[in-house]
Amino acid sequence: MLAALVLAVAGVAQLILGWMPARGLASALPQRSAVATDGVAAQVRQARWIAHDHNDDSGTGPGYQMPLSMMPGMPADGDVRLAVSVTVTNTGTVGRAVDPAAEFTLRNASTDESWPPRADTFDGLARLGSRSAADGVLFFDLPQEEADSSQLYVHWKHADWSARLTVQPDQDAGSHSHP
């Protein structure tokens, strides 16, 4: 009887926590590579650090020293860029509103810093038809010192629901040629 009561209380707690909006509870949410809510699912397929061969204008690097002002869209000096491939799927039978560029942010679990996407390839996606999916890439610029891959995750906030999605870059942030 006691075991059944403990299981029932644990089940109710799990149900409440699973349905409750995660405001202020982001650090307590478990990380997964795929999650679903309200007929919409999201999955992180791949994450990789983007190599940039530009040099700063300090004059210490090899070759032509091109300043960042001549390279629009490049990360600022000291920043690194992470490309996160995401699939958003409508699992329901009716169209669903989605906005990947606004719903996803990159976060660092140890410092609680966050970064919105700098750019994306979802091309203004605002709605998914029933039983359809969209693949895209979200690009995040963050300071080199925040690029601890073991602490990074993608925070997905869809309507009043939040989830943490695992990010496991295929290489180290310091292994590319960004200054």
Question: Model confidence over 22-60: pLDDT tens digits?
Answer: 333 344 556 688 998 889 999 999 999 998 654 444 555
How high is the pLDDT of residue 1? 57
The total number of residues written for the chain in this structure: 179
Tell me the pLDDT tens digit for each residue of 71-122.
556 788 889 999 999 999 999 999 999 999 999 999 999 999 999 999 999 9
Q: Do β-strands 31-32 and 152-158 pair in parallel, antiparallel, or remain unpaired?
A: unpaired
Phi and psi angles of residue 95, each rounded to the nearest 5 degrees, phi first = -60, 150
**8 A C-beta contact, residue 130 and residue 95:** yes
The DSSP H or E segment spanning 120 is strand 119-120
Residue 150 has pLDDT above 50, yes or no: yes
- 32-56+75-175 has which fold? Immunoglobulin-like (2.60.40)
> What are the structural domain ranges in the chain?
32-56+75-175
**8 A C-beta contact, residue 131 and residue 90:** yes
